[in-house]
Structure 1
């Protein structure tokens, strides 16, 4: 009888130990699954943060808001190059590249509309700020039209090329006419602050 009692006690102790091992969950497998889910969520968050940092890397390394914007202009034109290299049968590729272009231009526009153009206006160049902001309306119109058109015919690619022509003129005006004297008007401290603010805004849209 004593032996039987000892065996029962040992069994209860083992059951209690198993229950504690499962982190007090009713089912040991549940604890494992929850742990895996938490780990997966952590990896997902880390990956997302890494993606944002990667998207912002160009801005940070440039160290100057004007140089960063010029870099983003070049990146957008590189996407245009890829789109123009497609043929009418590559509809999936065209859709993918248009999505990339839309994201790049949307992030870029947010940086300018929320930081650079207001600063330009504050510095006494309200007319230029309004003009550049109006150009962004043209950009949004082209993106909408390209998204709603069938992209398997030459008319779609012709509109892409017309869009590129318009946006290149906008970029040249910013890079050669408006932004250089504006940057020169600001102190080093003001330019540094503008860079920080622009990077922060871009991070939201990365």
Structure 2
């Protein structure tokens, strides 16, 4: 209760006869501001973590690593659909969609190159891992070309279609051949660990 509170002044006076505290204003406002800053930083960090989690799992990746990669493949197809629906007068829209495509593919490639392909090599599937990893180099080449070609030209959209043909074959090989064969060789614990490792990798770029 107020009657039992220690009334001795603590430190510098706030100029009105009262003592400094975390709840005083004026001269004692430094504590309030510091506390607010820390609280604001904590909220900001929490919001950023929440955003990253949303981005990482917004593709519908509620299953294991294979389901997650398939969902990301589908997201890529959806972006290609939107790009191909544009015409030469929609340069700004094409630029925006290309940025989305590049981000999605870069995040996806990091997950595969830093987690999945190394695991394939450990499982004596180095040939498949190296072939798939090599195709990622062509993905980077296509993205570079699409950023340098004028996107208001028919040549740009033609290059997009070539890119899609190449990457859809890459995704088909992963979804129908390499990943199912690899997953059959995994124990439940290995599959769960791989899922956790891949989600952590994706979280870095979310």
TM-score w.r.t. the length of structure 1 is 0.83
Report how many residues are paired: 192
1:74-125 per-residue CA deviation (whole Å, 9 max, x = no partner) reads: 0111111111111112111111111111111111000100010000011001
Instruction: Report what 1:9 is aligned to.
Output: none
Q: Which residue matches 1:177?
A: 177
Partner in structure 2 of residue 156 of structure 1: 156
* Paired residues for 1:138-153 under 5 Å: 138-153=138-153
Distance 1:95 1:33, change over 3 A: farther
Flag the 1:150–1:135 CA change in 2: closer, same or farther, 3 A: same
Residues 63, 17 of structure 1: alpha-carbon distance in 2 compared, 3 angstrom cutoff: same
Deviations 1:43-71 (A, max 9, x none): 43333212101012257852211111000
Partner Cα distance (1:200, 1:84) in 2: 32
Return the offset for 1:148.
1.5
5+ long unaligned stretches in structure 2: 1-12
- 1:1-206 mapped onto 2 (5 Å cutoff): 15-17=16-18, 21-22=24-25, 24=27, 40-58=40-58, 61-206=61-206
Measure how far apart 1:35 and its partner are: 6.5
Q: TM-score, normalised by structure 2?
A: 0.83
Counterpart for residue 3 of structure 2: none
Q: Which runs of 5+ in 1 are unaligned?
A: 1-11
Relative CO higher for 1 or 2, CA cutoff 8 Å, sep ≥ 6? 1
User: For the pair shown, which has the larger CA radius of gyration, 1 or 2?
Assistant: 1
Name the Cα RMSD after superposition: 2.4
Aligned to 2:10: none
